[in-house]
Amino acid sequence: MSSPVRDLAGRTALVTGATSGIGRATAVALARRGARIIVPARTLSKGHAVASTLPAVPDGVDDHLVRELDLADLTSVAAFAEATHETIDLLVNNAGVSSPTLRRTADGHELQLGTNHLGHFALTSALLPRVTGRIVSVASQAERMSRLDVADLTPGHLDWHDRPYDASRAYADSKLANLLFTLELERRLRAAGSPVKALAAHPGLVVTAIYDRRDGRRPGLWDRLLPIVGQSPEAGALPVVMAATADLPGGTFTGPKHLLHMRGGAEVIGRSARARDVALAQALWTASEQLTGVRAELAG
């Protein structure tokens, strides 16, 4: 394996969730290598505040760009894609949510799957004609807790309309979906003869706002342990940056080196049998097209 790419001068990277946590740390790391960053934000003022703190782009390159995007609203995703005319060398699908209660997106989908997977599926599909380099989706080893199979991939089941809501399982389903999306996207890119690669990254156990408790319950043991065993967003960004810049084949999954791939450094890691299931990945792709109304256009 060759050394990571150090010079990204003249390249544009779009990082979802770049206003905080791992996304912000990833955007900073890529900007330090010279990349111009597109910062999607639900609140433009917050996006501009973050963009103003990113390392400056090299002379002769346009400044970092802020544009409005709400991944939990497919109308917003479509508007963002319509307004994005720039060539995107690197797309990092990082933004994610974790919800302890059943909540829904603007389109009625369960919030975790709707944001973590469907929003990124729609965004990537719409932007594919403008992507020239890599698509990195931030997944998680939580995917191993998912029990999705082909029979589960119906709108009612995926959206928790016909089963009791389980927040942990819903999150795991969304993270498995990230890996299955990467698997099928990479297969389709290779079949189309495209130079674009699709990879995935697991940031490990990171102390970020995704774990903020907003349901009014008292903090439990996990809430007290996380600040002790969790790592910083900067450390969590290392596997993402590795997937984005290292000399790796498409379909690679990266993650931390230590503590069962939960913290420290970055390396290539494995995934569950379900996350390698081509038939499940293809079925999820079809279901995602139905749920979002968006179809990807792949060209060699």
Residue 188 lies in a domain: yes
Chain CA centroid to CA 172, Å: 14
Residue 298 lies in a domain: no
Q: Say if residues 23 and 17 touch (Cβ distance below 8 Å).
A: yes
Sign of the alpha-carbon torsion through 98, 92, 201, 235? negative
pLDDT in tens, 138-149: 999 999 999 999
Residue 136 lies in a domain: yes
Name the pLDDT band for 213 (thresholds 50, 70, 90). Answer: very low
Q: Long-range contacts for 58-63 (Cβ within 8 Å, ≥24 apart)?
A: 58/9, 58/10, 58/34, 61/9, 61/10, 61/36, 62/36, 63/36
Higher pLDDT among residues 264 and 202, named by residue: 202
Q: Say if residues 183 and 278 touch (Cβ distance below 8 Å).
A: yes
High-pLDDT (> 90) share of the chain, %:
79
Query: Helix (H, G, I), strand (E, B), or coil: what is residue 67?
Result: strand
Name the pLDDT band for 221 (thresholds 50, 70, 90). Answer: very low
**Six-digit token string for 130:** 């403008």
Q: Please give the tally of structural domains in the chain.
A: 1
Residue 131 lies in a domain: yes
Active centre residues (catalytic) = 171
Name the pLDDT band for 300 (thresholds 50, 70, 90). Answer: low
pLDDT at 1 (0 to 100): 39
Nearest to 186 by CA among 248, 123, 94: 248
Mean of pLDDT values over 155-183: 94
Residue 299 lies in a domain: no
Q: Say if residues 93 and 126 touch (Cβ distance below 8 Å).
A: no
Q: Domain range spanning residue 244?
A: 12-292
Residue 227: pLDDT over 60: no
- The 3 state secondary structure assigned to 5-63 is CCCCCCCEEEECCCCCHHHHHHHHHHHHCCCEEEEEECCHHHHHHHHCCCCCCCCCCCC
Name the pLDDT band for 262 (thresholds 50, 70, 90). Answer: confident
Residue 269 lies in a domain: yes
Residue 3 lies in a domain: no
**Residue 118, domain CATH:** 3.40.50.720
Q: Say if residues 69 and 95 touch (Cβ distance below 8 Å).
A: no
| Cα distance between residue 195 and residue 95, in whole Å | 25
Residue 149 lies in a domain: yes
Residue 212: pLDDT over 90: no
